[in-house]
Amino acid sequence: MLEIPLSDLADWYSTKVKKQVEPVRKKTQKIIEKIQQGLVDINSSCEKFSEITTVSERDELTSKSIENLANKYQARIKEIELPQEPLIYEKVTKFAQSLKGALEYMWQIGRRWIPKLSRASGQTYKMNIRELDYHMKNLHAEWGTLERLIDKDLKKIKVYEDIFDEIEKMKTILQDLNTLKEEMKTLESNLSQLNAKKDLYSEKYSDINKNPLISERKKIDNEISVIIQNLKGELGYFRKPLRKFEKFLGEGNYFVRPGCTDQLTKYINNPLETFFAETEEYPNLKMVMAELKKAIPRLKLKPRDEKKLEKEIDDINGGSFLGYRRNYNQLSQKFQEISQSLKEEGLLEELEAIQNDITQVQREISEFEQKYSRVKDNYDRTLIKIRDGRKNLEQEILSTTKEEIKINF
């Protein structure tokens, strides 16, 4: 098996298929040269019309019409662009279509005006018109020859041209792959730097947290959180009964103590905030519970639920939440004292600043990780394109040259 670098593949393949491709392209070039000469001849014939100056040959009746015809022919010829080498199937086909359009355009104009001008013009005009018609017929014949060549020969070598296109596409994909690879390296380097920065911040944050006061403050904060969670759970039990009670009051014909309705709404919407806003004995909550207990028979609860609700209300009104309140107040006061000491030492500000730094660098890490993931996905997809493209290209080359090769990158 022959191993060929991708950079050399086009030259190698060109040599391999030269005998199949070059004769057809040379034949195509000769026909195009004849077409080019035909266009020159038509343009020259058009110019001759303006050279006739005798009054007998160029009367005012025909002069302007003939010049207009010649100008239209010349303008249309200028729009035709000859194909540049290499003369591949797509270029030549496009040129043939352009030439066909020009011939149809000139034929339509000529069919309308040339017979009239031939009868009205003098002998010199008639000779020039016959000459123009002769060149037009020759050009049309060469166009027909080109069309047959396209269908018979150029179409056959298109398979080789397609392989050259695939080689160029493979080079572009490989370049894209290398670009993505370099981009991944850059992103990996950035991530490494950011993670190192985060580790440095985290180490500083950990060192500051070793301070006894900070450790104590954190412990108290956890204890406060436990109290809040427990209280939240107990108050959560009353959420449905309180809503039933609120709905019942909204129906009218039942009266409660002044201020109870407002407190009821507060305990439904913001139970924790409302509780901690009360004095130590939480009189508002007890008032709401007392009114709720009186209304239990009207709330249409199940007997088992009524008994449980009554017991829970009795516990609250008996002072079951006093411990929560006292412990919360004591811990909060101690938390504030420690926080004040730490603030005076500047440790809280330093801790907060480092925490902000950690948050910021983590945000940057997340952004780079997302970008890296996108680039990595593109890289993997491109790698698959390279793998499949190489396999297909090797098979196509084998089928056209009978040569088994391996493409190296």
Structure tokens at 385: 């394109």
How does residue 370 score in pLDDT terms, banded at 50, 70 and 90?
very high
Q: Please give the C-alpha separations between residue 15 and each of 21, 50, 160, 161, 396, in angstroms, as whole numbers.
A: 10, 52, 12, 13, 16
Number of Cβ within a 10 Å radius of residue 369: 13
Q: Where are the domains of the chain?
A: 2-158, 218-345
pLDDT at 357 over 70: yes
Could you give the CA distance from residue 393 to residue 406 in angstroms, rounded to a whole number? 10
pLDDT at 25 over 80: yes
What does the DSSP assignment read for 243-276? HHHHHHHHTSS----TTHHHHHHHHHH-HHHHHH
Greater confidence (59 vs 365) lies with 365
Greater confidence (208 vs 148) lies with 148
Summarize pLDDT for 45-63 with one digit per residue, the tens.
Answer: 888 876 664 444 445 556 6
Global pTM reads: 0.61
The mean pLDDT of 208-230, rounded to a whole number, is 91
Residue 119: the pLDDT is: 57
How does residue 117 score in pLDDT terms, banded at 50, 70 and 90?
low
pLDDT at 77 over 60: yes
- The DSSP letter of residue 151 is I
How does residue 364 score in pLDDT terms, banded at 50, 70 and 90?
very high
Q: What percent of the chain has pLDDT over 70?
A: 94
385: Cβ–Cβ under 8 A, 6 or more apart, which residues?
A: 173
pLDDT at 228 over 60: yes
CATH of domain 2-158: 1.20.120
- Answer whether 329's CB lies under 8 Å from 280's CB: yes
Residue 110: the pLDDT is: 81
pLDDT at 169 over 90: yes
Mean pLDDT, the chain, rounded, equals: 90
389: Cβ–Cβ under 8 A, 6 or more apart, which residues?
A: 166, 169, 170, 173
Q: What percent of the chain has pLDDT over 90?
A: 70
Residue 68: the pLDDT is: 83
349: Cβ–Cβ under 8 A, 6 or more apart, which residues?
A: 343
Summarize pLDDT for 244-258 with one digit per residue, the tens.
Answer: 999 988 887 788 999
Residue 62: the pLDDT is: 63
**Mean pLDDT lowest for which of 70-79, 160-169, 336-345?**
336-345
Summarize pLDDT for 268-287 with one digit per residue, the tens.
Answer: 999 999 999 998 899 999 99
Residue 58: the pLDDT is: 47
- Answer whether 1's CB lies under 8 Å from 405's CB: yes
Residue 404: the pLDDT is: 93
Q: Which residue has the tokens 């108290």?
A: 220
Residue 118: the pLDDT is: 61
Greater confidence (114 vs 122) lies with 114
**Mean pLDDT lowest for which of 9-18, 141-150, 347-356?**
347-356
Residue 120: the pLDDT is: 53
